[in-house]
Structure 1
Amino acid sequence: MSNARAPHPTRRGILAAGGALGLGAVLAACGDDDAKSGGSGDETAAAKSGPWSFKDDRGKTVALDKVPSSIVAFTGVGAALHDYGIRVKGVFGPTRTKDGKPDVQAGDMDVSKVTVLGNVWGSFNVEKYAALAPDLLISTTFDAAGTLWYVPEESKDKIAKLAPSVAISAYDRKLDVALGRMLELAESLGADVKASGVTEAKKRFDAAAARLRAAAKARPEIKVLAGSASDQLFYVSGTNLSLDLEYFKSLGVNFVEPPEKAKAQGGGWFESLSWENVDKYPADVIMMDDRSSTIQPADITEGTWKQLPAVKAGQVIARSPEPILSYDKCVPLLENLAKAIEDAKKVA
């Protein structure tokens, strides 16, 4: 499985691996083509009627005669809406792993109860999509142009003719802002944002953020590196575009930050290192990309990796570069990093 990139990165290559995003060539090589709720019930949206409109993060307003009831979404968006009691009919993006289990990005969704239109990069079954009679398509966007994440370039026009779309930006903004926007969208679709499951999750998120801020303040010497692994390359993420890392940095976390020149070939998201140079940046804690398209720490066989001080000390934790944008799902991201900093030995 190769993740080598062309000298002039395509959009797909720029979004590969260590930045926020993704999945690039690894994704195309992996996989095949094909509940807990914080809201107020399984059919929350059905309780709301009348005209509906929402202004998305591209500045586009979608206006419909009624609240959408046939929603298709990127998997992670479907998972976030699920936590607010909104159910989608179809999803696209990483939904099932090779063994058929729910992908990490599916959250608490029952993947057996949604139509999977495409499980890998570049896969989107337009015929199945049309058969769902969609009212609305929802995805995230990871660039300034508002490109819909996981909607294939070659079929985007056909897809656009079947239903309007809404985009929530995960580009160059902080996690808390994106969470607020997803909550606004869920509320517009009928979610009860005052339900105890929602309000309690928000309280836990705020408490976790305060804990992380306190940990970072108490241990400013602890250096954290955000990485991602492929068979050929190790990616060191910068913080300037990733919504999770930007937020953690704003709370005081001391991150490894590759120079802008080094990140240029990765579209500003990350620096690519050979495995021989994986020790370029000293780090006390390493956060590793948890997506199924990447090699997980337990499966990395490179000797240079195993000799890293943070690895030898057992100071490696998971990172979700495409977090599910519900407060419930983001609490552990903050808590795990806070604990790692609190407990870390200074090894770099």
Structure 2
Amino acid sequence: MTEQSGWRFSDDRGRRSSAPRTPRRVLAYVQAGATLWDLGVRPVGIYGSDHDGPAPDRAKTGTLPLEEVDYLGAGGSLDVERLLSAEPDLVVAVSYGDGHVYGLAPETAKHLEERVPVVVVDVGQTRSFDEIGERFTELARSLGAAQRTDASRDLTAVRERLRSLAAGSADAPRVLALSPAGPDRAHVARPRMWPELRVLTALGVRTVEPAEGPGANWSTLDRSDTFALRPDVILTDVRAHAGSLDALRGSDDRATPVVPWNPEPLYGPRDHARFLGLVADALEAARAS
């Protein structure tokens, strides 16, 4: 779209945002901001959710140049004036399938949208990783980002590598994703509920599914029941509010390959390829042990 014809984008709530010219000062939820950066759009600022603190969680920021991007805070510290202090001409937010702006109080989101265009991308469980990634790509291109064919080639190559590693073996390594909750328990992910874990399953990776029970996204297990699932590779939540895997497993299981995992994944091809490459390395290490 040319500058002369203005800028328009329909978000995942079905709302159309518009501006006389392509927005240049993008404020984004941290996950959206890091994804847009990987796709060629540098935000002027990012903000977090109630899970975040006064400093950005580096597990969520990917390769964002934090020395060049303002972090405006998170949760209760955010109000409309604080968000507008970055002088954005567009805000990019996420939702989890309900259309609500994640990370902002409803009144804050309402009053923000009265002052600046807000685009919401649905990152909920009903959509595949690729579908979410494509929506971010469409948004980035509308903001002037060029297509990165090299990044797409790298992603295709690492997916093929994973598919090859996972193929044709009944004793393939068992991959368990979890979020440590202290030395005595863990929140074990249900892979079908997480877009990035569904990618692994679709590629043939043997992801471990905890037994049915309470918890839609996680099954909370004590330490012994967690390791009774016999993981050969562990994907561990490395967000700042997660517990320590070392504290959870103590002196046991030191040889198990570990992959840092952000349950709020970044949907750009470089960041996704980086994660899949780490999983592939861990599978190779598990097979060699």
TM-score computed with the length of structure 1 as normaliser: 0.73
Distance 2:185 2:99 in 1: 28
After the TM superposition, which residues 1-348 of structure 1 pair with which residues of structure 2 at under 5 Å, given as runs?
48=3, 50-93=5-48, 103-118=58-73, 120-141=74-95, 143-153=96-106, 155-172=108-125, 173-193=127-147, 198-221=148-171, 222-231=173-182, 233-263=185-215, 268-297=216-245, 300-302=246-248, 305-306=249-250, 311-345=253-287
The amino acid of 2:5's aligned partner reads G
Q: CA RMSD in A?
A: 2.7
How far residue 48 of structure 1 moved from its aligned partner, in angstroms, is 4.7
Equivalent residue letter for 2:100: T
Structure 1 80/98 Cα, relative in aligned 2: closer, same or farther at 3 Å?
same
Structure 1 residue ranges (4+ consecutive) displaced by more than 3 angstroms after TM superposition? 47-50, 97-102, 120-123
Structure 2 match to 1:25: none
Counterpart residue type for residue 148 of structure 1: V
* Structure with the bigger percentage of strand: 2
Tell me the matched-pair count: 284
The one-character-per-residue Cα deviations of 1:266-324 (angstroms, maximum 9, x if unpaired) are xx111112335332422211110121221243xx324xx2365xx33232221121122
Give the 3-state SS of the residue equivalent to 2:8 in structure 1: strand
Q: CA deviation at 1:215?
A: 1.0
User: TM-score, length-normalised on structure 2?
Assistant: 0.87
CA contact (8 A) 2:186 2:223 kept: yes
Structure-2 separation of matches of 1:326 and 1:179: 7
Q: 1:225: how far off?
A: 0.6
Identity %: 27
Q: Is the 8 A contact 2:89 2:117 kept in 1?
A: yes
Whole-Å Cα distance in 2 between the matches of residues 102 and 258 of structure 1? 28
Cα offset, 1:259, TM superposition? 3.4
Contact kept, 8 Å, 1:230 with 1:294, in 2: the verdict is yes
CA deviations 1:102-143 (Å, max 9, x no partner) are 71322222223333221x4443242122233432211222x2
C-alpha distance in structure 2 between counterparts of 1:145 and 1:345, whole Å: 42
Contact 1:140–1:148 (8 Å) recurs in 2: yes
Task: Give how far 1:333 is off.
Answer: 0.9
